[in-house]
């Protein structure tokens, strides 16, 4: 067991972090597409581990969105996010997909390792 936090099971699927950065005119598009976007997220809530808006630290204007997606592949994660009305409308200037490993934190309820030795081979 980890020394300072409970050990929790790993997420049982591949996970992808999708970062979406706003383009020009995003505020008007966001306002226009908000209802459809929220409906889409609700319909696909089981595919998201967590998602939400992005802001610059200490600032209030939105600059994009993030999605932590459980999917079989990077293409499947991209396809899921690409069908969101925000993405379909062209609101984002850039969409980046990265493989991610949820390894610890409050939302997870702990950490996925028992000890440093147990994951040392995966840490580099």
**pLDDT given at position 1:** 67
What was the pLDDT predicted at 108?
87
User: Can you list the alpha helix ranges (DSSP code H) found in the chain?
Assistant: 26-43, 74-82, 85-88, 116-119
At residue 77, the 3 state secondary structure works out as helix
CB-CB neighbours of 45 under 10 Å: 9
pLDDT in tens, the chain (124 residues): 678 888 888 899 999 999 999 999 999 999 999 999 999 999 999 999 999 999 999 999 999 999 999 999 999 999 999 999 999 999 999 999 999 999 899 998 999 988 888 888 888 7
User: Distance (Å, rounded) from C-alpha 14 to C-alpha 87?
Assistant: 22
Confidence (pTM): 0.90
pLDDT of residue 119: 85
Phi (first) and psi of residue 15, to 5 degrees: -130, 140
List, in sequence order, every residue forming a beta bridge with 94; answer none if it has no partner. 21
Q: Which of 112, 123, 122, 119 is nearest to 1 (CA)?
A: 112
**E strands present in the chain:** 15-22, 48-55, 62-70, 92-100, 104-105, 110-111
Main-chain phi, psi angles of 96, to 5 degrees: -115, 135
């Amino acid at each position: 067991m980890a020394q300072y936090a409970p050990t929790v099971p790993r997420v049982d699927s591949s996970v992808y972090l999708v970062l979406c950065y706003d383009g020009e005119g995003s505020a008007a598009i966001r306002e226009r597409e908000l209802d459809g976007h929220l409906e889409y997220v609700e319909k696909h809530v089981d595919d998201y581990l967590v998602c939400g808006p992005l802001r610059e630290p200490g600032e209030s204007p939105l600059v994009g969105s993030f999605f932590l997606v459980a999917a079989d592949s990077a293409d499947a994660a991209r396809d899921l996010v690409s069908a969101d009305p925000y993405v379909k409308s062209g609101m984002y200037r850039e969409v980046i997909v990265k493989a991610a490993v949820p390894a610890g934190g409050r939302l997870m309820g702990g950490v996925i390792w028992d000890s440093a030795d147990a994951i040392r081979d995966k840490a580099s």
